[in-house]
A and B are shown apart, each in its own frame.
Chain A
Amino acid sequence: MSPNAVRSASEPDPAARLAQVMAVEAKAPQVASWESMATAQDAGATAPIAPPPGLDTALFTSDDPRARRDLRDQIAGLERELCSIVAAALDGHGVGVQPARGRGAGARILSTDELERMRDSLAGAVQSARRELSARAEDQSSARALLERMLADPSTYRWVRVSNSDLGEPGCRHWHSRPRFGLFGVLCNWWRVKVSSGCPLARGRPVRAPLIRRRPVSELVRVRP
């Protein structure tokens, strides 16, 4: 408020109002330990109670230990559910959950508000993970149906390729609808599904003896006596 503004008689004097608030806060009981705070709460104290030194949270304004315990139990259940969904999807990426404080902040006792925000954030993450898993399952089901149709009628699905990753299975296998005998097959409408087994084995191919034994030159050249 500008110092030059005209203040009406009904408006309270800001300085007097500040003094009134400070007087109320000065009368609030100062509690130095957890035990005395619990005693004060049990006695039905209504004024805000100061936290123990070093515990700078909103814990003591309107917090109830039972509410915090319930919220922690809910967070535990949601976290376990989220872990099982992520593991089921074989997706190692972390799900974005808003932490209670900024990144890199240390572990501490969270207030009820912070626990509620954490719980809501986790619940949202569980829902989005479920949706993603469900969408992925639908895509895999569609890919399996496509593969069956492709195997039944390759010429309808020309050049279509379906891989193991589309089906949600491990490995590098591909099914590819290709023409027989190249261009001739395209002209004659001869199509087939070629299955590619993917990457070679890590241990390499076994060494086999050659089908045609090559004789050394000395055996081929006959020396006439």
Chain B
Amino acid sequence: MSGAADRGDDAVLEGAVAPELAAEFPGLRLVYCEARVPEGKRSSAAVRDRLRLLADRQAGAQAVHLREREIPSAYRVFLRQVGVDPDRDPSPVERLMLERMREGSLRSEGPVSDALRIAVVETEVAMLALDRAAVDGELHLRLSGEGEKAALGESALDAGTIVLADRSRALVEPFGQPSVPEGCSHCLFVAVGVVGVPAPALSEGLWCARAALES
């Protein structure tokens, strides 16, 4: 991926949105950044402690009222508007909150996954992580074509599905649950913004994830 290398690894890049999507959803945005993944299968002790503290701060009342907060509410509205039931397929922050309520904690699953969880819980922004080696060119949001499959996703795509894509193929649905790349040398943290999500929150999410990964 040449874009991040030319601008330096510290850059937050803005991905394009296909014209038909931008016309229908003017607030739809895509930002991403590159981060170096440390060696080892386990996160550092500091990250695990931070994850534990975050989980301790989340209680039932916070989980119930999460849907009223500005950013989770914006994602819920957007998911309804694109035909997804947010109570069945929730946004990443609500999904993590449900996991916290069910499991009693936020389990540590690896450096990239933990960094992503910390960023999502702290900033409430919809984020996902991709293996940089699996991405060809710049990222953008577009509609899928007939018979297209998500390269990094789990199932086939219906035509017209909103997908995150690179230059050559569709990669994953932006609000799906892709598997987190562990064991790669560099990863991309991707944040998707909708109407009602402040732009600084997207950048903050990316910085938070990268700082947690490199700590």
Contact = CB atoms under 8 A, between A and B. Distances in A.
14 contacts: A34-B19, A53-B146, A54-B146, A79-B80, A83-B68, A87-B67, A94-B88, A105-B83, A105-B161, A106-B158, A107-B161, A107-B162, A108-B143, A109-B82
B157 A106 contact: yes
A175 B76 CA distance: 41
A106 B20 contact: no
A101 B159 CA distance: 13
B211 interface: no
A124 B157 CA distance: 30
Interface residues of A, number: 40
Taking residues whose C-beta sits less than 8 angstroms from the other chain, chain B's interface range is 35 or more
A87 B68 contact: yes
Contact of B23 (A34, A83, A101, A108): A34
Given A54-B143, A106-B158, A87 B65 contact: yes
A82 B152 CA distance: 34
A61 to B, nearest CB: 15
A103 B88 contact: yes
A100 B88 contact: no
A92 B63 CA distance: 8
A122 interface: yes
Given A56-B159, A108-B161, A97 B144 contact: no
A54 B160 contact: yes
Nearest to B173: A106
B64 A56 contact: no
Interface stretch (A68-76, A151-159, A161-169, A179-187): A68-76
A95 B155 CA distance: 27
Given A65-B23, A92-B64, A106-B173, A75 B77 contact: yes
Interface in A98-150: 99-101, 103-110, 114-115, 118, 122
Interface in B138-159: 143-146, 148, 155, 157-159
B23 to A, nearest CB: 7
Contacts of B85: 94, 97, 99, 103
Contacts of A83: 67-68, 73, 76
Contact of B83 (A55, A86, A91, A114): A114
A179 to B, nearest CB: 38
A212 B155 CA distance: 72
Nearest to A110: B83
B20 A55 contact: yes
A33 to B, nearest CB: 8
A178 B20 CA distance: 70
Contacts of B84: 99, 105-107
> Which of A35, A57, A83 gathers the greatest number of chain B CB atoms within 10 Å?
A83
Interface in A29-80: 34-35, 52-57, 65, 68, 72, 75-76, 79-80
B67 A107 contact: no
A55 B80 contact: no
Contacts of B77: 75-76, 79-80
Contacts of B163: 106
A86 B80 CA distance: 16
A178 to B, nearest CB: 32
Contacts of A79: 73, 76-77, 80
A87 B73 CA distance: 12
